[in-house]
Amino acid sequence: MILWVIFASMTAAAIFAVLWPLGRNLRAARGGSDLNVYKDQLQEIDSDRAAGLIGEAEAEAARLEVSRRLLAAADAPSAAAASENPRWRRAAAIAALIILPCGAPGLYVALGSPDIPGEPALARVKTAQGQDGGQSVASLVSQVEAHLARNPNDGPGWEVIGPVYMRLGRYDDAVEAIRKSIALNGDAATREADLGEALATVANGVVTADAKAAFDRAMARDPHEPKARYFLGLAAQQDGKNDEAAAIWRALLADAPAGAQWVEFVREALAQATGAPAPAAGPSARDVAAAADMSDDQQREMIRGMVGRLATRLHEDGADVEGWLRLVRAYVVLGDRDKAKDAAADARRALADHPDEIKRIDELVKGLGLEG
């Protein structure tokens, strides 16, 4: 008897919990403010990333989480509007008064029993969500893609998904998403720089004419945009203009904010352009000055020495696909196209068990015109 009294009390509490909000005159005004808050959060993530306060992986994870909340908020107004309809309110009230009291005992009789052993909460979570206890990135991306299929003009959604595509290696999709983001949100410097990076990545690191045009547009809107400045230096280096590349990267390092995570990467690029070997913490001012005083022949000889050391390391441990890509490009810059072809062939042999990485080598060979 006591058990049924408890059930009745719980049922009454459930009915009250349902009827109480239905009796209030709520307005669905929250969705718009939520959208503004989430859009501000996306802008803050971009600002922190540009300032070097967070890494690319952390920025992408934050973008994905905010995007989920943003998409939920975008769909909220329609649901809230439906709840304001008096017919829906009356229907919900009737359901609460009839279904809860009558349905709960029936469900318990059919499914419940005090004799059934309990199941740990962790086991239930794993059963419902899988062994990892949460949704996979692929599942979350699929949700965003489904939302964008229904709402193709959702600018913030395209801005969120572009960097995620980059992280997942879906570079062609990233290019398309960033283009749509620019068309819907405007051609901001960071968006143009992201587009240029995606285009260069599709070309296996080669700054193509389209990529360079995107970086030029980014610089026209913000002369201090770090990503655009780096890639414009890389474009100059790939054209054999090492002095121009070095000047761009020196200016970029001089303007770098404290703690920027890309500083060491730019220092390494500067060392390669000037022929000065970079220590673990980056080249010193004396090293850079000494390289600048060398003749062109001396600088090229030093660069050849660096390329030779890279080739030796790769032949000892050929699992570094990024190293092979750098080696092939370096030989092209030095004018040794035959060595570039040989390096590509060596890379294919070393990476024989990794078809996706071999594909990157083949695409680079094609982009540099080394076929045949």
Q: What confidence tens digit (pLDDT) does each residue in 65-77 have? A: 767 666 665 555 4
What is d(CA 191, CA 33) in angstroms, rounded to the nearest whole number? 25
* 97 shares its domain with 86: yes
Query: 24-63: buried (b, 16+ CB within 10 Å) or exposed (e) per residue?
Result: eeeeeeebeebbeebbebbeebbeebbebbbeeeebbbbb
Worst-scoring range by mean pLDDT, 11-25, 118-132, 228-242? 118-132
- Residue 22 inside a domain? The answer is yes
Both tokens assigned to 13: 């509490």
- Residue 346 inside a domain? The answer is yes
Question: Which of the two residues, 310 and 191, has the higher pLDDT score?
Answer: 191
Percent of residues, the chain, with pLDDT higher than 70 = 58
* 19 shares its domain with 54: yes
* 272 shares its domain with 305: no
> What SS3 class is residue 109?
helix
pTM: 0.45
Question: Which of the two residues, 38 and 47, has the higher pLDDT score?
Answer: 47
Q: Which amino acid is at 184?
A: L
Q: Which of 43-52, 114-123, 196-205 has the highest mean pLDDT?
A: 196-205
> Is the pLDDT at 165 greater than 80, yes or no?
yes
Both tokens assigned to 355: 């078809």
Confidence band of 160 (pLDDT split at 50, 70, 90):
confident
Range of the domain at 193: 140-227
- Residue 210 inside a domain? The answer is yes
Both tokens assigned to 208: 């193509």
Residue with tokens 């109480």: 20
Confidence band of 372 (pLDDT split at 50, 70, 90):
low
Single out the residue of 235, 325, 310, 220 nearest to residue 273, CA to CA: 235
Tens digits of per-residue pLDDT, 272-304?
787 654 433 333 444 444 444 556 666 666 667
- Residue 135 inside a domain? The answer is no
* 288 shares its domain with 304: no
Worst-scoring range by mean pLDDT, 94-98, 242-246, 359-363? 94-98
**Residue 303 CB neighbour total at 10 angstroms:** 20
- Residue 232 inside a domain? The answer is no
Mean pLDDT of 155-171: 89
* 275 shares its domain with 354: no
> Is the pLDDT at 127 greater than 50, yes or no?
no
Mean pLDDT of 177-205: 93
Q: Which amino acid is at 245?
A: A
- Residue 344 inside a domain? The answer is yes
What is d(CA 231, CA 223) in angstroms, rounded to the nearest whole number? 13
> Is the pLDDT at 154 greater than 70, yes or no?
yes
Mean pLDDT of 246-252: 91
**Residue 212 CB neighbour total at 10 angstroms:** 21
For the chain, the domain total comes to 4
Confidence band of 221 (pLDDT split at 50, 70, 90):
very high
Of 257, 274, 292, the domain-final residue: 292
> Is the pLDDT at 217 greater than 90, yes or no?
yes
Of 227, 250, 278, the domain-final residue: 227
* 249 shares its domain with 177: no
Of 269, 292, 315, the domain-final residue: 292
> Is the pLDDT at 135 greater than 60, yes or no?
no
* 7 shares its domain with 102: yes
Mean pLDDT of 343-349: 90
* 215 shares its domain with 177: yes
Confidence band of 176 (pLDDT split at 50, 70, 90):
very high
Question: Which of the two residues, 290 and 309, has the higher pLDDT score?
Answer: 309
* 167 shares its domain with 245: no
Query: What is the average pLDDT value for the chain, to the nearest integer?
Result: 74
Domain of residue 357, CATH code: 1.25.40
pLDDT of residue 233: 93
Q: Which of 33-37, 197-201, 294-298, 362-366 has the highest mean pLDDT?
A: 197-201
> Is the pLDDT at 170 greater than 50, yes or no?
yes
* 150 shares its domain with 185: yes
* 281 shares its domain with 317: no
Worst-scoring range by mean pLDDT, 73-82, 113-122, 215-224, 282-291? 282-291
pLDDT of residue 55: 65
What is d(CA 199, CA 272) in angstroms, rounded to the nearest whole number? 23
pLDDT of residue 44: 74
> Is the pLDDT at 153 greater than 90, yes or no?
yes
pLDDT of residue 282: 38
- Residue 343 inside a domain? The answer is yes
Domain of residue 215, CATH code: 1.25.40.10
Burial class (CB in 10 A: 0-12, 13-18, 19+), 356: exposed
* 157 shares its domain with 190: yes
Both tokens assigned to 40: 């501000």
pLDDT of residue 75: 54
- Residue 46 inside a domain? The answer is yes
